Amino acid sequence: MNYEERLKNVTVLGAAGKMGSGILLLTAVEMADISLKPENRTKTYVLNAMDVSHEGLAGLLKYLKVQVLKIAEKKTVLLRKIYADRTDLIENKDIIDQYVFDVINIVRPVTKLEATYDSNLIFEAVSENKDLKVKLLSQIDSNNPNDPWYFTNTSSVPINVVEKEAGLEGRILGFHFYNPPAIQKLVELIVTDKTKKEVVEFAKTYAKNLRKIIVPSNDFAGFIGNGHFMRDALHAITEAEALAKDMPFVEAVYMVNKVAQEFLVRPMGIFQLIDYVGIDVVQFIMKVMNPFVKDEELHSSLLDKMIELGVKGGQKSNGSQKDGFLKYEKGQPVAIFDPDKKEYIPISEFKDKCDKKLGPIPEPKLSWKSIIRRPDKDVLLKDFFKTMKTMKTFGAELAVKYGKRSNEIGKKLVADNVANNENDVNTVMLTGFFHAYGPVNTFFD
C-alpha cells in the first residue's frame, strides 16, 4: 500500500474537538489534492470525521467550509491548473466553490465506531485519557481487517503504553500537532521501539505535504513540548505562591505573568498561556505525566483549587478566551482571580504599584512582537539580557531566575533523553510555542 492508497480511507477520532478539527481539515485537503490528480479521478476517498457529539460535528462542517474556502482563495492560481479540463468552471469563484465542495465531499461525519472499520489510517485526537484511547483503538483494531496504522495526537501519554495495551505492535506512532493544527508549524513525532519503518516514512511524507516541521521526541510522558511547558508553568506558580506570602496573591500573579511576557520577551504571559491551554488541561497533563517522571512532583494544588472553584480558562467555540487566572476583555487581560475572595480584582487597582516594584524593562526595550521577525533578534536579545543581568531590580532578578530555570528544564529534557539534542528542544519552543528564542541559550549565564 503506497502513500496515496493509504490515504484512500482515513478516520479522525475526536474530529469535532479543538485538535481533531484542525487535523481533519489538513487531512481532508491533502486527500482532496490527491483525489484531484488525473490518475485518481475515478477513485473514491473517504475521511470519517468521527465524534460522539452531533453538535460538535455540525460545528465542524461550518469550520471546514470557512477554512477550506480560505485555503482555496490562497491557492487559486494552482487550482485553475488543476481544474483546467473543467470547461464549466471559468471564473475564480466557480473554481474555488468546486474545490470547497470537493474537499468537504470527502468528509463523512459519523458518530458510530463501525465506520472506522474500513480505514487504513486512524488519527486519534480524543481527550487525554489513556484508558479511553486504549479502549477505542483496540476495539477498532479487532474489527478492522486492514491492519490500520494509528497516529495519536496525545501530548502526554507514552506511546508504547497505548501500543502495548491496545495490541497495536509496530503500527502506532505519536504525531503531536500544536494548537491550532492548521496554523502551528510544529509536529512532534514519537516512535516506539517497535514502530515499523514504513509507518515512520509515511508520517514524514504526510508532514512534509502538510508543510509541517517535524521534531523527533523520545517516548517519555509529555514529550518535549509539554515536558518544558509543564515545568515552566510550575516554576511560575511556585514563584507566585512564594511572592504571595508578602503581597496579595493577585499582585504576585500579575508580576510573574508580566516578567514572563515583557522581561523574558515571550508572546504572552505564563498565566495567560495556562489560561489559553486551559487550567483543566494543564492539570490533566500533569496528572498523566506525573507517574512517569521520577525525581520530581508534577502537581500543583493551586491548579486543583482553581478547578474546584470552577475557574478553567480554555477557549469558547468561537475561539475567544474564557476567563481563567486572568479575566479577558477583547482578548486583553483586565483582572486577576483571587481564590480567597473568589472574585476578579481589576488590574488597574494594583498595576502602578506592581510595575514600580518590578522596575523598568532594560533599554533599549524589546517586545516579542517587535523582534519575532527580525533576522538579528539573537544579537538584540543578547544585549537586552546582558543589560538585565546588571540591573538589581526586583523584576530583572525574577526574570533572570526564570530564564535560568527555563534553560535548566531544556537541558534536563536532553539529559533525560526525551529530546535527542538541545536544538530539538529549541525548535519545539520556537515553532510550537512561538518563542523568540530557545530555552537552551547562554543569555542568563
Site residues, another protein (CB under 8 A): 73, 76-80, 87, 90-93, 96
Question: Rounded to the nearest whole angstrom, what is the least distance from the CB of residue 149 to another protein in the complex?
Answer: 32
Compare residues 71 and 159 and give the one whose CB is closer to another protein. 71
In three-state secondary structure terms, 234 is helix
Which residues touch 309 (CB under 8 Å, ≥6 apart)? 339, 342
Compare residues 97 and 422 and give the one whose CB is closer to another protein. 97
Question: Rounded to the nearest whole angstrom, what is the least distance from the CB of residue 84 to another protein in the complex?
Answer: 8
Compare residues 76 and 420 and give the one whose CB is closer to another protein. 76
Question: Rounded to the nearest whole angstrom, what is the least distance from the CB of residue 88 to another protein in the complex?
Answer: 10
- Using alpha carbons, select from 359, 387, 383, 360 the residue that is nearest to residue 371: 383
Compare residues 80 and 382 and give the one whose CB is closer to another protein. 80
Question: Rounded to the nearest whole angstrom, what is the least distance from the CB of residue 92 to another protein in the complex?
Answer: 5
Question: Rounded to the nearest whole angstrom, what is the least distance from the CB of residue 208 to another protein in the complex?
Answer: 17
Compare residues 18 and 80 and give the one whose CB is closer to another protein. 80
Give the whole-angstrom CA distance, residue 22 versus residue 436.
25
Give the whole-angstrom CA distance, residue 195 versus residue 173.
7
Compare residues 68 and 96 and give the one whose CB is closer to another protein. 96
Question: Rounded to the nearest whole angstrom, what is the least distance from the CB of residue 82 to another protein in the complex?
Answer: 12
Helix ranges (H only) for 210-289 are 223-243, 249-258, 270-277, 279-289
Give the whole-angstrom CA distance, residue 438 versus residue 445.
14
Helix ranges (H only) for 75-209 are 76-82, 92-104, 130-143, 159-166, 197-209
Give the whole-angstrom CA distance, residue 416 versus residue 125.
27
Question: Rounded to the nearest whole angstrom, what is the least distance from the CB of residue 61 to another protein in the complex?
Answer: 22
Give the whole-angstrom CA distance, residue 220 versus residue 45.
35
CA-based torsion, 160, 224, 12, 125: positive or negative: positive
User: What is the length of the chain?
Assistant: 445
Q: All 3 cell numbers of residue 234?
A: 510550575
Q: 321: which DSSP letter?
A: B
Compare residues 77 and 294 and give the one whose CB is closer to another protein. 77
Compare residues 93 and 374 and give the one whose CB is closer to another protein. 93
Q: 82: which DSSP letter?
A: H
**For residue 156, is it left (φ>0), alpha (ψ between -120 and 50) or beta?**
alpha
Q: All 3 cell numbers of residue 344?
A: 476578579
Question: Rounded to the nearest whole angstrom, what is the least distance from the CB of residue 72 to another protein in the complex?
Answer: 9
Compare residues 351 and 374 and give the one whose CB is closer to another protein. 374
Question: Rounded to the nearest whole angstrom, what is the least distance from the CB of residue 331 to another protein in the complex?
Answer: 15
**First-residue to last-residue Cα distance in the chain:** 52
Give the whole-angstrom CA distance, residue 221 versus residue 286.
9
Compare residues 77 and 183 and give the one whose CB is closer to another protein. 77
Question: Rounded to the nearest whole angstrom, what is the least distance from the CB of residue 364 to another protein in the complex?
Answer: 19
Which residues touch 205 (CB under 8 Å, ≥6 apart)? 3
Question: Rounded to the nearest whole angstrom, what is the least distance from the CB of residue 318 to another protein in the complex?
Answer: 15
Compare residues 86 and 351 and give the one whose CB is closer to another protein. 86
Question: Rounded to the nearest whole angstrom, what is the least distance from the CB of residue 65 to another protein in the complex?
Answer: 16
Which residues touch 188 (CB under 8 Å, ≥6 apart)? 174, 175, 176, 214, 215, 216, 217, 223, 224, 225, 428, 432
Give the whole-angstrom CA distance, residue 49 versus residue 189.
23
Compare residues 91 and 297 and give the one whose CB is closer to another protein. 91
Other residues' Cβ atoms within 10 Å of the Cβ of residue 252: 20
Give the whole-angstrom CA distance, residue 277 versus residue 270.
11
